Amino acid sequence: MARNIMIQGTMSGAGKSLLTAALCRIFLQDGYRVAPFKSQNMALNSYITADGLEMGRAQVLQAQAAGKAPDVRMNPILLKPSSDVGSQVIVNGEVLGNYRAADYFRMKKSLIPQILEAYHSLAEENDIIVIEGAGSPAEINLKKDDIVNMGLAEMVDAPVILVGDIDPGGVFAQLYGTVALLPENERARIVGTVINKFRGDVEILRPGLSMLEELTGVPVLGVVPYTQVDLDDEDSLSPRLQGKMMVELQGKTIAGMQQDRTGRQPDAMVRLLDIAVIRMPRISNFTDFTPLSMHPDLNVRYVGSVKELGTPDLVILPGTKNTMGDLAWMRQNGLEAAVLKLHAAGTPVFGVCGGFQMLGERLLDPEGVEHGGEMAGMGLLPCRTVFSEEKVRTQEEAVVCTPPFAGARLKGYQIHMGRTEFTNSMNTASLTNSTAKTPFCTLSDGTSEGAAVMHQGASCGEVFGTYLHGLFDTGELTEKLAGWLLARKGLEAAAGNDTAETATGTASGTTRPESHEAWQEKQLDLLADTVRKALDMEKIYEVLGLQ
């Protein structure tokens, strides 16, 4: 059976997920068979495995760090919030049902056999399991029947590293307070603490580190510097969604991303194109757009109000866990009207998954899967969506068939509750006699997927919709989209944006855009190198019994 070590945090956003990924990569580099494990994850960023099962994207990234294919055993329970008080519960990759929080808490202990079966199955195949906790182990109102923090650590007899985030301040109180709130038997599991996201001279911290060790009775295993790596984020705490990063866009500074693939920092970045992604209350899989933000000419920002929207070059409606509810939210705050106004003035609109559903003529939910009843869509695509209990979960390869992106090869996945089909009517508000409607792409089995409306000679913007998550990951659609948007504005690519920086060579001597997966491999190695230097790896291997 595998040795194990568990990463717990003082709070959500302390850096558990990335530290888990870093340790997975370090152990892989050192020659061990390693796998990540998180018994219960709450996230709207999910992924479909090769066998059609659903899991959290954080564990997908950790699997990549470990050199493994994503496997639902790494995340046996996934909670996808559908409202403020309820979530869709997914067990071993399959939908168990929708539960209110109180009902789930009453039944979650019954899921322990599935959790342990998944864990022990992974443990039989690996040398080391790196376990990630959730939130904080000191949530005293949630400790009863805990299945993800100290409760799980006890079940699998795992030593624990406790991580605190120094970036917002108060890290010593975080770490000491967490330890102090734990009962003695749980404190005994903590083998060390880690201070994460530090900026500055670590020598300034030395007196505090010594005091912390005295107060907690456990060693500080390291101080990890704030690391500029571009890896997929988890949900609501992502700086991408919060607009914390700034870049310069054609002479003005606006919310954007931290750096691009050429390594340029915000003060040196000039983005020629502005892409606005609607930040819906239940936005899901916003990681779809990370490859766009890494393109030197594309600034991607997330907007939640008409005031933030401005006049972008492209509007994207992303995936959502509640299409009808989030469309109602857009209507209430004026974003729908603002997007329609931009479209009428020539701005193209792109919808992915739930965003694709919104762009159609009508949404029907006869079984009450999301919202119940019927609702008019935005009327920009000649299609309608009917929701049902059956969830589509497939990996796909496709080729875009609509201009101006025709020929771009895609590799992604579908994950949705509704079925969308073209309507026979041509009454959609945006359709005219000079309009062509086509599927967006063709799947590998020859099936048409998605929809597009091209306005030939009309003033309205083009509209595209697809169910494919990960559509920009190959890099091919990203390059075609950037080229098309630049051409629409009569612009050329920014200086320094040449194929040497954005593409990789092939055997034939031609170039292809670098895939998101290849880029993340480099970032994972960078993360592992940083963490290896910062942590007492000798002590960690000693704890594992591998020294």
Among 338, 332, 330, 333, smallest CA distance to 358 is for 330
SS3 content of the chain, % helix, strand, coil (to 5): 35, 30, 35
| Residue-level pLDDT at 459 | 65
Quick count: other Cβ atoms within 10 Å of Cβ 127? 17
* Domains: count for the chain: 2
Across-strand partners of 128?
Answer: 3, 34
User: Which candidate in 295, 416, 469, 516 is catalytic?
Assistant: 469
Do 357 and 402 belong to one domain? Answer: yes
Asked if residue 38 is part of any domain, the answer here is: yes
Tens digits of pLDDT across the chain (547 residues): 899 999 999 999 899 999 999 999 999 999 999 999 999 999 888 999 999 999 999 999 999 999 999 999 999 999 998 777 789 999 999 999 989 988 998 999 999 999 999 999 999 999 999 999 999 999 988 888 899 999 999 999 999 999 999 998 999 999 999 999 999 999 999 999 999 999 988 899 999 999 999 999 999 999 999 887 777 766 555 555 555 443 344 444 344 433 333 333 343 356 899 999 999 999 999 889 999 988 999 999 999 999 999 999 999 999 998 999 999 999 999 999 999 999 999 999 999 999 999 999 999 999 888 878 999 999 999 999 999 888 899 999 999 999 899 999 999 999 998 899 887 654 444 444 445 688 999 999 999 999 999 875 556 789 999 999 999 999 999 999 999 999 999 988 765 444 333 443 333 333 456 788 888 899 999 999 999 999 999 999 999 999 7
Residue 466 domain flag: yes
Q: What is the helix (H) or strand (E) element at residue 374, kind and residue range? A: strand 373-376
On whether residue 505 sits in a domain, the answer given is no
Give the span between the Cα atoms of 278 and 347, in whole angstroms.
14
CATH code of the domain covering residue 312: 3.40.50.880
* Count of Cβ atoms closer than 10 Å to residue 415 Cβ: 23
- Do residues 75 and 63 touch, judged by C-beta distance below 8 A? no
The answer to whether 161 and 7 have CB atoms below 8 angstroms apart is yes
Dump strand ranges (E) for 250-293: 252-256, 270-271, 273-278, 283-284
Q: Are 94 and 53 in contact (CB under 8 A)?
A: yes
Cβ atoms of 459 and 275 within 8 Å: the answer is: no
Same domain, 288 and 368: yes
- Domain stop point among 471, 491, 511: 491
Q: Do 479 and 361 belong to one domain?
A: yes
Angstrom distance (rounded) from CA 205 to CA 188: 25
Same structural domain, 110 and 61: yes
Q: For residue range 5-32, what is the model confidence (pLDDT) as tens digits?
A: 999 999 998 999 999 999 999 999 999 9
- Cα separation, 183 vs 179, in Å, equals 8
Same domain? 217 vs 341: no
441 flagged as catalytic = no
469 is catalytic: yes
CA distance 399 to 474: 11
Q: Tell me what pLDDT residue 259 has.
A: 37
pLDDT in tens, 487-514: 999 988 765 444 333 443 333 333 456 7
3-state secondary structure 438-460: ECCEEECCCCEECEEEEECCCCC
Tens-place pLDDT, residues 162-179:
999 999 899 999 999 999
CA dist 42 and 134 (Å) reads: 9
Domain span at residue 324 reads 247-491
Question: What is the reported pTM?
Answer: 0.82
- Phi and psi (nearest 5°) for 361? -80, -35
The confidence score (pLDDT) of residue 252 equals: 41
Q: Within 10 Å of residue 154's Cβ, how many Cβ atoms?
A: 13
pLDDT at 145: 86
331 and 370 share a domain?
A: yes
**Which residue of the set 353, 383, 401, 441 is catalytic?**
353
Inside any domain, residue 92: yes
- 41: tokens are 């994850």
pLDDT, position 191:
97
Domain containing 56 — which CATH number? 3.40.50.300
107 and 158 belong to one structural domain: yes
Q: 423, 382 in Cβ contact below 8 A?
A: yes
Res 348: pLDDT = 96
Between vectors from CA 166 to CA 24 and to CA 3, what angle results, nearest 5°?
Answer: 25
Judged by phi (left if over 0) then psi (alpha if -120 to 50, else beta), residue 522 lies in alpha
254 & 221 share domain:
no
Helix pair 16-29, 57-65: axis angle to 10 deg: 20
- The answer as to whether 509 is a domain residue is no
Determine if the peptide bond prior to 183 is cis (ω within 30°): no
Q: In what order do the strands lie in the sheet with 245-249?
A: 252-256, 245-249, 270-271
My answer on whether 221 and 270 are in the same domain is: no
**Is residue 506 in a domain?**
no
Strands 3-9 vs 160-165: parallel, antiparallel or unpaired? parallel
Tell whether 384 is covered by a domain: yes
What's the angle, vertex CA 133, arms to CA 129 and CA 136, rounded to 5?
A: 155
- Both 140 and 271 in one domain: the answer is no
**Same domain (yes/no): 416, 481:** yes
Does residue 512 lie within any of the structural domains?
A: no
| Judgement on whether residues 355 and 456 belong to the same structural domain of the protein | yes
The DSSP string of 37-58 is E-SEEE-S-EEE-TTS-EEEHH
